[in-house]
Homo-oligomer: A and B are copies of this chain.
Amino acid sequence: MKIELYDTTLRDGAQGEGVNFSLEDKVMIARRLDEMGFDYVEGGYPLSNPKDAEFFQRLAAEPLKYSKVCAFGMTRRKGVAPADDPGMKALVESQAPVITIVGKTSDFHVHEVLRVSLEENLAMIGETVEYFVKLGRQVVYDAEHFFDGWKANPEYAAQTIQAASQAGASHIVMCDTNGGSMPEEVVRIVKEAAAKVTTPLGIHTHNDCDLAVANSLAAVDAGAVQVQGTINGLGERCGNADLVSVTANLAIKKQGYEVLERGELEHLTELSRYVYEIANMSYRINQPFVGPSAFAHKGGMHVHAVNRVAESYEHIAPESVGNERRVLVSELSGRSNIIAMTTKHDIAEDKQLMDSILREVVDKENKGYQFEAAEASFDLLVKRAAGSFTPHFELVKFHTSVESRGGQPVTEATVKLLVGDEVRHEVAEGDGPVNALDAALRKALNGLFPNLRGMHLVDYKVRVINSEAATAASVRVVIESRDSDGEVWGTVGVDENVIQASWDALVDSIEYKLCKDEGNPAS
């Protein structure tokens, strides 16, 4: 059976803390969702702000190819005819082919929040839906607080969706607005609702109980034919149902449902990361199906088994959702992890080289290195062992100092390098000793390697390794860098001295970038 996917990333997703889309962002995401084959794309609430109104004009001028564009609004105000209501006018002007109307299901909300009579609420629902149907629009009816309302007063809740159904809504969408319902409640109530209306049902859940995806799937099993959600589960509080997980589960894991029939499932990981990038948010590293860790193996026993038979510790093939298997090098892992990580270097035949890499990795791990978040340092290690690495510069000396007299500290770093035959000696200030070192290092190199200008550090983490001895113990510094191509790589340094460890990670990061740009990526 075909299950329709209704994306509300641009409307309900934008309610999430820290989520802000510009007009351009919204248009780009809508076009990407269209390419992927999502059935509906809800673009916003035209009454609420001019940006959303403008969005609909942009899409009216250059329509989507596949997805139906939906504009969102509330039922008409109390005692106002639809034609006179500013919210209705904004929806008409949006030119969106689908109008999604949210209305109240719960008598508690009708009384306490809306403050109208139960009869007036039914009239508000029916007249609003009918108004747009008569204008030739498709109307999706979102029944707010559906499950809570049904639990409290099932007779009245049924009347609200019957009002929408009789007025010509194409779908009745049951919303678990507060995200508080359990799957068994969802199943029971969806079945009860299906007995009250013949209109196709949809489901819209929130993740407040960590059950949004489970509740969406349970509703589909109970008869819903449309699922509303957001990419990556963006949304207010704990977010909406993650349409990425819903889609993958319906397409791959469950039997008898069709979604994204045009074979776009292999772009799911790309879509997820695209939305994160546009929203300027970090990936959720362990996100089901599409996270960078979703098919990453760390335990040595598991890695050993995965190498033998992939499906032994993977529930699906990573490629089916556009993701990939990764093997993490760590203290818990054995030899098989390292062998797996070097396969892309195509050196497995060279047993002597493999052994020298293994010895080097074990030696470094004993000193406290971790390569799981530092694949760039691992790649350089392999190149060094293979003799295919020539450093672009050599350290003569560096010096950093920080001085405070109680106010803002003063920080300075000097760096003296040998670059080819040339000596470069530079000084810079910074917000801290590592920032100052980074600045001096770039000052010394930027002239010769202008591509370093497009590279910047995106994260810097420090961890004491042997915490028994605290500040006198070794520290591990992990640096993440990104360049203008959008590639992100990690490097690591370990030393008793945090400045030395930071320096080593900085140098690896720059060397990796320089190797990569020579058409000679470390890998």
Q: List residues of A whose CB falls within 8 A of some B CB.
A: 14-18, 20, 22-25, 48-49, 108-109, 112-113, 177-180, 182-184, 207-211, 213-214, 217-218, 221, 233, 235-239, 242, 245, 248-249, 253-254, 280, 282, 284-289, 291-299, 302, 305, 308-309, 312-316, 328, 331-332, 370, 372-373, 395-406, 409, 411, 430-435, 438, 456-468, 470-472, 475, 479-480, 495-500, 503
Complexed CA–CA distance, A78 and B275 (Å): 50
Say yes or no: A207-B288 contact (C-beta < 8 A), given A48-B332, A254-B182: yes
| Cβ B18 vs Cβ A373 within 8 A | yes
- A17-B286, A409-B495, A431-B471 known; 12 new pairs, CB 8 Å cut-off, are A15-B299, A49-B331, A209-B249, A209-B315, A235-B286, A397-B404, A401-B401, A409-B500, A432-B472, A432-B495, A434-B498, A457-B471
Bound CA–CA A109/B308 (angstroms):
11
Nearest CB of chain B from residue A381's CB, rounded to whole Å: 19
Q: What are 15 pairs between A and B in contact, CB < 8 Å?
A: A16-B293, A16-B298, A18-B372, A48-B332, A178-B315, A180-B253, A183-B183, A211-B249, A238-B294, A239-B286, A398-B404, A432-B475, A432-B500, A459-B464, A460-B475
Decide if A237 touches B286 in the complex (CB within 8 Å).
yes
Contacting pair A462 B462 (CB below 8 A): yes
CB distance from A320 to the nearest CB of B (A): 12
Chain multiplicity (copies): 2
Chain B residue with the shortest CB-CB distance to A402: B499
Point out which of A180, A233, A254 has the most chain B C-beta atoms below 10 A from its C-beta: A180
Within the complex, what minimum Cβ distance (angstroms) separates A55 from chain B? 13
Contact B17 A296 (CB under 8 A): yes
B residues in contact with A184, CB < 8 Å: 221
For the complex, what is the distance from the CA of A288 to the CA of B242, rounded to whole Å? Answer: 14
Residues of chain B contacted by A464 (CB below 8 angstroms):
22, 459-461
- Interchain CA distance A219-B285 in the complex, whole Å: 27
Q: Beyond A209-B245, A209-B288, is A396–B402 a contact (Cβ under 8 Å)?
A: no
User: Are B238 and A291 touching (Cβ within 8 A)?
Assistant: yes
A498: which B residues are within 8 A, CB to CB?
Answer: 432-434, 462, 498
Q: How far is the CA of A280 from the CA of B466 in the complex (A)?
A: 13
Chain B residues with CB below 8 A from A280, complex form: 461, 463
Query: Chain B residues near A48 (CB, 8 Å)?
Result: 332
